[in-house]
Structure 1
Amino acid sequence: MDIPFVKSHWPRSFRGRLLLVYVAGMLLSGGLVMAAVMVLLEPFERYMLQHSVIDRAEQIAKIIRFDAAGLPLGPDRARIEDWPFASLSEEVVLRIVDPHGTAFYTTDGQRAPLAPVGSGFDPLAKGFVMEKDGVSMHAATVPLKRPGRTWYVQFAISDRIVLLMQHSIGLPALRQGIVATCLTFLVIFFITTHLTLRRVLRPLRVASRQAQRITPQSLGDRLELQDLPSELVPLVDAFNRALDRVQLGFQTQQEFLANAAHELKTPLSLIRAQVEMGGHASDNGSGSGSGQSPYLLQDIDRMARQVQQLLHLAEASEPRNYRIERCDPRSTILEASDFMDRVAERGQVQIALLFDEGVGPWHVDRGALFTLLKNLLENAIQHCPPHRTVRLQVHGRGFVVSDEGPGVAQEHLGKLFERFWRGASRRDEGAGLGLSICQEIVTAHGWTIEARNGAVGLEVRVTHASIPDPAQ
């Protein structure tokens, strides 16, 4: 089933995508934090209020004054203001009691100790909730040790005064502070992120400028891998390797064009000379005689053959021209052998075709296989002495073409498949492209081709492991 194409709404800029990811991450994190705050705000406020009351009681206990008899006189007025206890006597309460709960100092005139709801005075209840005249309050009891005696400082504050302060001053101030902080943070974030991304992406801009400067005249240049992020190194390295292949292909084509021009220049010059001479020459070279010169026709045939081979090489070099399929190769091999029998007869050479057992279907382009065999057989016939045999032996993993000629010098074996290279012992005047075409066909199939001197003559072996082996 085809997957419908969905247009991406991502920014085209890499920097824009990173910014979008950062902002999305911030918004998601902020949303999660806000959800957690909404859920935990009320219990957290109660927790903080209770601990604030305990802390306040401990601070007050440190500044309690005592008279000469060791009785408490209240907090030191020089170190704490007493207006909250005087003006908010119903909301803020301070008492100092003994271990039995008897109050010796109080700010609201009441002598009863502060105690949790539903229970009596408990000196060990450090923090608790109580009610005073129907008003809920948070209270704390902290010990105050004196020589020979322990006192307990009790401090309480009503929930309603705390809520009033929170809703009238605290929460609005908190909201304003959060908004101001967020806006300041966003401005700083965008500025610093922009500068940071600009710095981080600078190697990409440098690599882009380097890539723009690469032209057919500077294919040897490569993009620098230094300072690139590790995630982008494989991409740039793959681009450099692609440039290596492009450079190699470009150089090959340039050499091909130069060699083709050189090879075609000679027959064209000869034809031009024949035409300027009127296309007539005597067979004995005296200049007298009649009829069309056979040399002109030979030059035309030679040039036509070279052009035909150039076309075959161009076709063999293009992978899209191949139609590789699973088929029995024997019919194509027989066809190529029968076709080259006529050439072999003219050279007084025989072709021996041998099939080993287990030759099964191959994955091959039939037309390319025919051309491959024809060129290899033609090359073997050209180097085989008269009244000798060219052998084509086919096995499960390929085939071998061998002749009974003089072979090839060891230093020349590596040049056999070079374009336009011709050995000194050739009897024909070909363009030197036949084996180059074979090399292109073999490469397109993923096979290998190897030339070596056998016991007698030259052997060309074509093999590949992808060809099924019937013995397996």
Structure 2
Amino acid sequence: MDMPSAKSHWPRSFRGRLLLLYVAGILLSGGLVMAVVMVLLEPLERYMLQHSVIERAESVARIIRFDGAGLPVGLDRSRIDEWPFASLSEEVVLRIVDPHGAVFYTTDGKRFPLAPEGLGFDPQRKGFALQRDGVAMHAATVPLQRPDRLWYVQFAISDRIVLLLQHSIGLPALRKGIVATCLTFLVTFVIAMHLTLRRVLEPLRIASLQAQRITPQSLGDRLALGDLPSELVPLVDAFNRALDRVQLGFQTQQEFLANAAHELKTPLSLIRAQVELGGQGGGRGGGSEHNRYLLQDIDRMARQVQQLLHLAEASEQRNYRIERCDPRSAILEASDFMDRVAERSQVQIALFFDEGVGLWDADRGALFTLLKNLLENAIQHSPPHRVVRLQVHGRGFVVSDEGPGVAPEHLDKLCERFWRGASRRDEGAGLGLSICQEIVAAHGWTIEARNGAVGLEVRVTHASAPGPGQ
């Protein structure tokens, strides 16, 4: 017993699936980066604080002012303000000492060099932590070489003010900045990937449209391989090879149909001639009556063979020669030709031309066959002494009869091969409307059958524009 397959939650679109995978990958990567950052945040903060203290000490060392005797007297006020050292003397400390640790300049008034608790001044100790009056601080010692002597600049900042600034201003701003940056990046990424994937998959969309346009009348068309991604070339190439096999089978079928019809025409003609010659030799009346029914059967078979030939010809696109022509001559010819059939059935054909009937793009012979079959079908379904109307307008024509119409559930079957309506009076093969369907499809027109106010209406319309009343 087969287990029911789980319903997939993946998008049906190939582009949607790729985009979803890209977005999921970005979110997963971002989550992993954030997890790593959270684990390493505290040691990273210590490292960044110590590194920034050293950098700050080096930058301060470059703006120290010296007096005429070469002794440090303060900072260059044109390049830095001294108020942080004065206002935040408990949090920010600057001292300038000589190689022996003697303090020559300080911002907090204390005359001892900065050093870790329990240790003395060491000019080689570049960065370190210390306790100053119970306040944890990070400090740095950097050399300052003057022409006459060597000095050391010591800079220290308390951890509490750094943490205060970080938690009150820095981290919230950083979080907001990260969120805004991530959202902007995600939106930009989705839009860019959508446009990129649309561009990349455009050859696949074009190939799909080409495949949709392939019909039995255009089986010789193939999908182009030039612009397709290399991963899709084997699939499209296999599809083209499948079309080769379908085309070969279709051509074989059409050739068999045409050959069979041609082969049957000659024996039927010979049989008819033999029956007619046999009837002329005399005999009883019963034999003559038998020959009459036999001839009717032969005529019916010959008509079916002829329709098979027409169907084979109508199904082959290369048999058409579509050109700009005046349709009125073919319409009049078909109407005149079917007048004799209508008289035998005691039906009248009424032909009407609307204004504005211009030139059509059509195969004149196929147009004649189309009109002949539609008129014949309407005549066969019309009761005696009724009218078959052929209304011609600028974009097509309508053939209507005054018969019983067709049941709504049978309207879609009218163009099926060998399907025959119950009210038809002759013994045709049911191929006439199938031939009409093939002719209309070859011209790119549309055919529609529907029940009118009285009887059936068959409407043929150019694809470029609707006809009257539609």
Instruction: Please state which band the TM-score falls in when normalised by the shorter chain.
Output: 0.5 to 0.7
Paired with 1:273 and 1:9, the residues of 2 have a C-alpha distance of 72
Name the TM-score, length of structure 1 as normaliser.
0.57
- Write the distance in 1 (CA, Å) between the matches of 2:205 and 2:52: 56
Change (3 A) 1:14 1:105: same
1:163 aligns with 2:163: yes
Shift, 1:166, TM fit: 0.5
Residue identity matched to 2:200 = V
* Distance in 2 separating the partners of 1:19 and 1:263: 61
Deviation, 1:6, is: 2.2
Look up the match of 1:36.
36
Can you list the C-alpha shifts for 1:95-134, whole angstroms capped at 9, x where unaligned?
0111111111111111111112442211101111111011
Equivalent residues in 2 for 1:66-77, closer than 5 Å: 66-77=66-77
- What amino acid is aligned across from residue 154 of structure 1 in structure 2? Q
TM-score by length of 2: 0.58
From the superposition, tell whether residues 279 and 154 of structure 1 become closer, same or farther in structure 2 (CA, over 3 Å).
farther
Is the CA contact (8 Å cut-off) linking 1:99 and 1:151 kept in structure 2? yes
C-alpha distance in structure 2 between counterparts of 1:189 and 1:146, whole Å: 54
Q: How far, CA to CA, are the matches of 2:122 and 2:160 in structure 1?
A: 24
Name 2:119's counterpart in structure 1.
119
1:56 counterpart SS class = helix
Q: Deviations over 1:193-212 (max 9, x none)?
A: 22222222221221111111
3-state secondary structure, aligned to 2:131: strand
User: In the alignment, which residue of structure 1 is the partner of 2:84?
Assistant: 84
User: Which amino acid letter does the alignment assign opposite residue 263 of structure 1?
Assistant: E
Deviation at 1:153, TM superposition (A): 0.2
What is residue 419 of structure 1 aligned with on the other side? none
Match of 1:252 in 2: 252
* Residue number in structure 1 paired with 2:14: 14
Identity rate, percent: 82
Q: CA deviation at 1:220?
A: 0.6
CA 278–77 in structure 1, closer or farther in 2 if over 3 Å, else same:
same
Summarize deviations over 1:350-409 as a string: whole Å, max 9, x none. Answer: xxxxxxxxxxxxxxxxxxxxxxxxxxxxxxxxxxxxxxxxxxxxxxxxxxxxxxxxxxxx
**C-alpha distance in 2, partners of 1:85/1:236?**
75
Confirm or deny: 8 A CA contact 1:96 1:152 kept in the other structure: yes
1:49 equivalent in structure 2: 49
* Residues 162 and 281 of structure 1: CA distance in aligned 2, closer, same or farther (over 3 Å): farther
Tell me, yes or no, if the aligned pair for 1:72 and 1:104 is still in contact at 8 Å: yes
| Structure 1 residue matching 2:136: 3-state secondary structure | strand
Counterpart Cα distance in 2 of 1:188 and 1:281: 96
For 1:144, the equivalent position in structure 2 comes to: 144
Where has structure 1 moved over 6 Å in runs of 4 or more?
279-282
Unaligned residue ranges in structure 1 (runs of 5+): 283-289, 304-472
One-letter amino acid of the counterpart of residue 209, structure 2 = R
C-alpha distance in 2 between matches for 1:265 and 1:117: 121
Give the deviation of 1:278 after TM superposition: 4.7
Offset at residue 188 of structure 1 (A)? 2.0
Could you tell me whether the CA contact under 8 Å between 1:274 and 1:280 is conserved in 2?
no
Rounded to whole Å, the distance in 1 between the matches of 2:150 and 2:2 is 85
Code of the residue aligned with 1:210 in structure 2: it is Q
Amino acid at match of 1:134: G
1:247-296 per-residue CA deviation (whole Å, 9 max, x = no partner) reads: 111111111222222233333333333444458989xxxxxxx9x99xx9
2:262 aligns with 262
- 1:188 matches 2:176: no
Equivalent runs, 1:17-416 vs 2, <5 Å:
17-278=17-278
Partner of 2:419: none
For 1:191 and 1:198, the matched residues in 2 are separated by: 11
State the match for 2:422 in structure 1: none
- What root-mean-square deviation, in Å, do the aligned CA atoms of Structure 1 and Structure 2 show? 2.5
Matching residue's letter, 1:227: D
Equivalences, count: 288
Task: Name the CA shift for 1:248/1:135 in 2 (closer, same or farther; >3 Å).
Answer: same
SS in 2 for 1:68: coil
Output the CA distance in 1 between the equivalents of 2:281 and 2:138: 130
Change (3 A) 1:119 1:200: same
- Pairwise CA distance, 1:246: 0.7
Equivalent residue of 2:122, what SS? coil
> Aligned with 1:169: secondary structure?
helix
Letter in 1 for 2:265: K
Which digits, 9 at most, give the CA deviation of each residue in 1:425-444, with x for residues without a partner?
Answer: xxxxxxxxxxxxxxxxxxxx
Amino acid at match of 2:108: D
